[in-house]
Amino acid sequence: METVSTNRAFEGVQGVYRHESATCGCPMTFAVYVPPQAKDGPCPVLWYLSGLTCTHANVMEKGEYRKAAAEHGVIIVCPDTSPRGETIANDEAYDLGQGAGFYVDATEAPWAPHFKMYSYVTEELPALIAANFPADMNRQAIFGHSMGGHGALTVALKNPGTYRSVSAFAPITNPIAVPWGQKALAAYLGPDQSAWRAYDATALVEDGSKVPEILVDQGDTDNFLSQQLDPAAFKTACETAGIALTLNMRPGYDHSYYFISTFMADHIAWHAERLTKG
């Protein structure tokens, strides 16, 4: 693991790191904020999964998470959103290819050799974090934005017991029913839509996957709300399954990091409460 940069922030350390990923078959970069409490022992880990076109840097520079993470003693890990490089498959559109991994393990050409973001964020990167940082891997939580909100929800639902809590900002909750998801899932997983259900939060809940509770914040002026994000089906699925979904519709807020940064501290505090129980 190579250290790209470190900066002191709120008495903790914001670092950026790079390593050769066996899962993705290329170098991968990620950010980790270690709070000051780490000097006294391992801290719980909160994973943040970013949205379309983002890298680790978007939330690191715009998300305003460090003060809250330092207050609550939580490590924040921010992976990239896809494999990258000249030899890695890509697409001219922003919603497919590099920057748009959708947190799935691709099975179709030309994506399959490298686009294994589900395995990367659930297996390889957690092992790297455990080996190199003062992380209590028995206390993990996960959240994300948009495509990353989709990733956080599906990762938590597919791995019950691994994450103590899950939340999202403006998540793609039903990708099999919206253009972003239909395009990406068809490309990465092929035409058989039964395979798509394993990476769709609404479908996973309908098919029996459960977590105790979920927190979602959604801006009501988000220009993607009606066409790409519509959380109605997810809300119905959670109600039917008995999952406690808190869906906060935020008046006047859009899809940007202005929205995310406004409610970031609320989400970190919510996760911290659950990460410190027991």
Task: Give catalytic residue positions.
Answer: 146, 222, 255
User: How many CA atoms within 13 Å lie on the side-chain side of 267?
Assistant: 33
Nearest to 267 by CA among 164, 167, 148, 170: 167
Alpha-carbon distances, residue 179 vs 71, 98, 229, 237 (angstroms): 39, 18, 10, 20
User: Parallel, antiparallel, or unpaired for β 43-49 and 75-79?
Assistant: parallel
Phi/psi for 270 (5° steps) reads -60, -45
Query: What is the phi/psi pair of residue 7, to 5°?
Result: -140, 140
Tokens (6 digits) for 256: 């940007």
HSE, side-chain direction, 13 A CA sphere, residue 236 = 6
Q: Is the dihedral of CA 150, 154, 160, 163 positive or negative?
A: negative
Six-digit token pair at 276?
């410190």
What is the Cα–Cα distance from 106 to 187, expressed in whole angstroms? 8
